[in-house]
Chain A
């Protein structure tokens, strides 16, 4: 069998360039933690009811959000969509959190 010609980029198995894997992993790992933290902080502020209860609920849910973000980072076939999602989503969550803190300062 003739060897296939090697493309210029180094490819992992099944053809995903290593750069893409690295980008997705960076978004998933640290990015997912940041996203889950922002989401949890916002949830804690938004949920009605006693403050300590809302805080606890947000913390309990945060790991599921983190896992979901990690899975999405690798599941979405379009890297551009993942980048956009993290970028816009992070900005939106951060903005909402900042706004919420302006409206009602912390206890």
Chain B
């Protein structure tokens, strides 16, 4: 555009990164947290027990459903894996005469009062405190909040495109991308150091950042890019039926028949999958002679997120059919989805995902700070910056400290809000945004350096004190978790301490920040005087 390719790409990189950098930071941080979504949910529902295996869970779930909804049109059972301690069940009543028999997709009764959460070990309903749990961070990062879900997804998709363009333009503009990989000069002039920090966090995990951005767009591509479907099909339902074959509607025979024991069915499924895990079990027309049991495979068993299903007779337990093998393109799409979700990742790899994702947050944060550091040196009067600069600086402080503080605030609210409060889960969420907004407002009323130090220190305290708040207000504490062998919750509290320490370290550095002014700036100042 203006000047060389590298210059125009630098311009594009700056603006595509800056315009929505603050929302992207929030999306990245909540997405980072989502790699531990079940652990966050368990922490926020201290009334639930420890993870149990699916063999135990299925018995309790079936007993509950048989007692609660014996004549339902279908049962839906989401089995726990080794990270979850609850079974989520739902049931769909028989369609009334005149109503369409079965709708594809939908939530099978969930959210309409026809669902329940059971303890995985005992099969008894649990009544955890009303909370969205880790689900909220996960949903926020791709559909935001306070806007209708569709608009939120469109906005998130648009922001993700800005991110993708920022990544591509960043790579093009980066001169010595391999050599600079190993370069970090903290004692150089400020702009150089912040640039190095931005480069390290961006380049070190560049494959991750590129992958996560592209696969994120792919997961919602039916919404963002429906045109190929519309170009090939008059009715998009035909396309989805090809990808996700429904199987014929199971017709009720009217003859009652005892249901085959499900543990044996799950065992057979697991063996058919060479040791794979069952995930969602759907029983069609339970108690009828025609009933079927559809067992879908855990999305974390392979890189691909969708791993097919097996359909069994509900009466005899014999295998009736397998879902068809998907084609190459479908598998590619499923693998992209799986890469983004990271459900396949074993604990070590999951932590690597988490660290790479944190590096992504640091990339966005250092980029935002770099913009102000660079522009500050070019201000004609550093004591009176122009409006755009002030806006960026305040938003930087308020967001980089405010989003972690807000996420911590939600967990504080989870422990402190009265259990019987109306709209309790919504108020936990409000706590996050109120805190974020408060940090932005605080940054508007303090000089920049003090604002950085104070907001980061506040965020650090809010995160690090959480384990203590938890111990003081619930039965669950670091010590009690260790005694019960609940190592996930032990690790959770320790991670909170570590993250609080990390933010505290940033606050301490901010307090001591005395950037070396470049020789060029000194010269300009002297010339102007």
Contact = CB atoms under 8 A, between A and B. Distances in A.
Given A16-B2, A67-B164, A71-B172, A106 B234 contact: yes
Interface stretch (B185-193, B329-337, B354-362, B489-497): B329-337
Residue among B1, B222, B238 having the largest count of chain A Cβ atoms under 10 Å: B1
B447 interface: no
Contact of A97 (B9, B224, B231, B527): B231
Contacts of B238: 107
Interface in A23-57: 24, 36-38, 40-45, 49-57
Given A37-B225, A54-B329, A74-B8, 6 more contacts: A41-B228, A53-B329, A71-B9, A71-B169, A74-B1, A75-B5
Interface of A: 1, 14-16, 20-21, 24, 36-38, 40-45, 49-60, 62-64, 66-67, 70-71, 74-77, 97, 101, 106-107
Contacts of A41: 227-228, 230-231
A97 to B, nearest CB: 7
Given A59-B221, A71-B169, A52 B330 contact: yes
Residue among B161, B169, B243 having the largest count of chain A Cβ atoms under 10 Å: B161
B161 A106 contact: no
B440 interface: no
Nearest to B217: A63
A63 B218 contact: yes
A14 B336 contact: no
Contacts of B106: none
B328 A53 contact: yes
Prevailing SS type, chain A contact patch: helix
B211 interface: no
B11 interface: yes
11 contacts: A41-B228, A53-B327, A55-B228, A59-B228, A63-B218, A67-B165, A67-B168, A71-B165, A77-B8, A106-B231, A107-B232
A100 B214 CA distance: 29
Interface in B322-358: 327-330, 332-333, 336
A43 B228 contact: yes
A64 B210 CA distance: 11
A59 B217 CA distance: 10
A66 B232 contact: no
B233 to A, nearest CB: 5
B242 interface: yes
Contacts of A14: 2-3, 7, 11
A60 B332 contact: yes
A42 B221 CA distance: 17
B302 to A, nearest CB: 18
Q: Which 5 A-B pairs have the closest CB atoms?
A: A44-B228, A41-B231, A56-B329, A58-B228, A16-B2
B229 interface: yes
B463 to A, nearest CB: 35
A107 B242 CA distance: 12
B239 interface: yes
A57 to B, nearest CB: 4
Residue among A15, A41, A60 having the largest count of chain B Cβ atoms under 10 Å: A60
Nearest to A15: B2
B12 interface: yes
Contacts of A70: 12, 161, 165
Interface in B144-169: 161, 164-165, 168-169
A68 B332 CA distance: 21
B446 to A, nearest CB: 29
Given A66-B161, A74-B1, A77-B1, A40 B12 contact: no
A71 B218 CA distance: 20
Contact of A67 (B161, B329, B330): B161
Contacts of A58: 228
Contacts of A53: 327-330
A50 B336 contact: no
A55 to B, nearest CB: 5
Nearest to B527: A1
B2 A71 contact: no
Given A53-B327, A56-B329, A63-B225, A71 B168 contact: yes
